[in-house]
Amino acid sequence: MTWRASVLTLFPEMFPGPLGLSLAGKALRDGRWALEALDIRGFATDRHRSVDDTPFGGGAGMVMRPDVVDAALGAAIAAQPAARRIYLTPRGRLLDQALVRELAAGPGVILLCGRYEGVDQRVIEARELEEVSAGDVVLSGGEVAAILLLDACVRLLPGVMGAADSATEESHGPEGLLEYPHYTRPAEWQGRTVPEVLLSGHHAEVAKWRRARAEEATRTRRPDLWAKHLNRNAGEGGRLD
């Protein structure tokens, strides 16, 4: 069955956007995944087609109404009952590659994009939405976060990436390491050379060098990931040094 994404948004014209290009765009045209952008405003019932109102308790900004968002969610869930339902919000759990792998392995996703101050909490609870954040930053809307999540999922779908750009050796893989650095021609550029071992043609030595650089990058740049990597290995009977 085709992996399917429904995006609930006030800006359906933002889709497919960059997802219509390159790897994701080709996969979309090849039918390896399907994308539907649902206009939340189409579910408004009053004469002004309002989707938001002022916050109870006062304060700045507007809040997206639960009744309108619920009607949009209802339509998306009816079309895709087994999909994971996600509200993109800076208050959510941080998106990571483990969650991306999980989502890509499922039947698809329903993504709710907020605007203004966000969505009335009651509809998030009533529809049991998972709250997911694209990072510790505040965007003006959930659409860019949805595009980020979909881009990461789609490249993992079967047949989307060729062997040439396979995901077997890359950052945030099952081992939780960052990737080693890359080099291409020319072998010397602006007086900078390429590490000798990469020119040696000795595959085992190249693999050893790459592993060491991957470990070094993770340890120095992301001590949080390095600690997790060590714990994982310790759990599998590895050593903690």
The site map against ligand SAM for 143-172 (x = CB under 6 A) is --x---------------------------
* Residue 58 sits in the site that holds ligand SAM (CB under 6 A): no
From the list 4-12, 22-30, 107-115, 154-162, the region that binds ligand SAM by CB under 6 A is: 107-115
Distance CA(33)–CA(160), nearest Å, equals 9
Strands (DSSP E) contained in the chain are 3-9, 33-39, 52-53, 63-64, 84-94, 108-113, 130-133, 188-189, 192-193
Q: Counting contacts by CB under 6 A, is residue 122 touching ligand SAM?
A: no
Q: Least distance from C-beta 132 to ligand SAM, angstroms?
A: 7
Distances (CA, A) of 57 to 61, 63, 72, 107, 115: 12, 12, 26, 40, 19
Contact call for residue 16 and ligand SAM (CB under 6 A): no
Q: ∠ at Cα 102 (96, 105), nearest 5°?
A: 140
| Beta pairing, strands 188-189 & 33-39 | unpaired
Amino acid (1-letter code) at residue 236:
E
Choice from 138, 164, 204, 240 touching ligand SAM (CB under 6 A): 138
Say whether 58 counts as a known binding-site residue.
no
Q: Does 96 bind ligand SAM (CB under 6 A)?
A: no
Q: Using CB under 6 A as the criterion, which residues of the chain lie in contact with ligand SAM when the complex forms?
A: 88-91, 113-115, 117-118, 133-135, 137-142, 145
Q: Which residues are annotated as a binding site for S-adenosyl-L-methionine?
A: 114
